[in-house]
Amino acid sequence: MIGFIGSVFSPWYRWSGRENPANHCCLNVATYGRGGRWTMTDRGEEALGLSRDALQIGPSAMVWKGDRLEVQINEVSTPHAQRVKGTVTIHPSAVTDREMLLSDDGAHVWRPFAPTARIEVALNRPGWTWSGHGYFDANFGTRALEADFNYWTWGRFPLRDGSACFYDLDRRDGTSLAAGVGFAADGTPHAIPLPPKQRLKRPLWMVRRDTRSDADFRPHQVKPMLDAPFYNRSAIRTKINGEETTGVYEALDLDRFRGPWLMPMLAVRVPRRKGWPRS
């Protein structure tokens, strides 16, 4: 799940000139495997509600309740036009106060609010009720991603004593960022040695995929999640400083995303709903 204010991958937001992020908000929900569904309705400013503890996006919301985050989902999938409804509850082991600059001028920032968490999923289809480990993070930006980056990969992996996250970014100014951060169960961050980059097999849309792994281990995909012309998300098995782990990995090709040919394709999967009734 991703909650957007200024839906960075929405063609409607790009076509608008990106002048009003609040007028392009959405809750993206993706479930995987047999019967998986996708929701990403680009909603207008009337659908957005903000308070200290809640983000309301049309019929869905993210709400802090004491020591947990509850995501209340009520969306319609594309292209199946089926209701996706229920809750996902995130129980952080700790909430951090740290952030990392992804660009030197601070135009892009990553904030790992809860890099280690327990989650409970209760949605309205068979097999969509389960619990496990998860995380909650956020990205903030004042410029378009494709304006400042060519390519990036990100991964989050659970470890015995917490979790590890990796960012590898290629910027348009010719510089790059390679960062590895470990988080203890209490949220305390610490730098970790960066394992070497290793190549993953390209998916159907042939997006390049590099990840971090110890030299004596060959990382590999264990579950496909999302494969698009410019973006890939998957569960991969890797080895980090001697410990094997399976985590979520993403690769983003922003050279491809810049292409105007892609926007009509995205509009099919990202419907626009400008208005929203208010009681």
Residue 198 to residue 44: CA distance in whole angstroms: 42
Phi-psi group of 30: left, alpha or beta (phi > 0 → left; psi -120 to 50 → alpha; rest → beta): beta
What is the separation, in whole angstroms, between the first and last Cα of the chain? 27
Residue 196 to residue 190: CA distance in whole angstroms: 18
Which of the two residues, 115 and 34, has the higher pLDDT score?
A: 115
Task: Provide mean pLDDT across the span 125-143.
Answer: 94
If you average pLDDT over every residue of the chain, what do you get?
Answer: 95
Q: In the block, which residue shows the tokens 């980056």?
A: 149
The model's confidence at residue 238, banded by pLDDT at 50, 70 and 90, is very high
The model's confidence at residue 125, banded by pLDDT at 50, 70 and 90, is confident
Task: Provide mean pLDDT across the span 20-25.
Answer: 97
Which of 114-147 are b and which e, b meaning 16 or more Cβ less than 10 Å from the residue's Cβ? Answer: bbbbebbbebeeeebeeeeebbbeeeebeebbbe
CA angle 41, 26, 112 (to 5 degrees): 140
Write down the pLDDT at residue 171.
98
For the chain, the structural domain boundaries read 2-270
Residue 111 to residue 99: CA distance in whole angstroms: 4
Task: Provide mean pLDDT across the span 102-112.
Answer: 96
**Helix/strand/coil percent split, the chain, to 5:** 10, 55, 40
Residue 210 DSSP label: E
Q: What is the pLDDT of residues 44-75, one digit of tens each?
A: 999 999 999 999 999 999 999 999 999 999 99
Sign of CA dihedral 69, 114, 185, 210: positive
Q: Omega before 79 cis (within 30°)? A: yes
Write down the pLDDT at residue 279.
45
The model's confidence at residue 115, banded by pLDDT at 50, 70 and 90, is very high
Write down the pLDDT at residue 276.
84
Pairing of strands 272-273, 42-43: parallel
The model's confidence at residue 278, banded by pLDDT at 50, 70 and 90, is low
Write down the pLDDT at residue 275.
86
The model's confidence at residue 217, banded by pLDDT at 50, 70 and 90, is very high
Q: What is the pLDDT of residues 35-44, one digit of tens each?
A: 899 999 999 9
Sequence-separated (6 or more) residues with CB below 8 Å from residue 66: none
Closest by CA position to 213, among listed 137, 170, 135, 157: 157
Write down the pLDDT at residue 267.
96
Q: What are phi and psi of 44, to 5 degrees?
A: -80, 175
Task: Provide mean pLDDT across the span 255-261.
Answer: 94
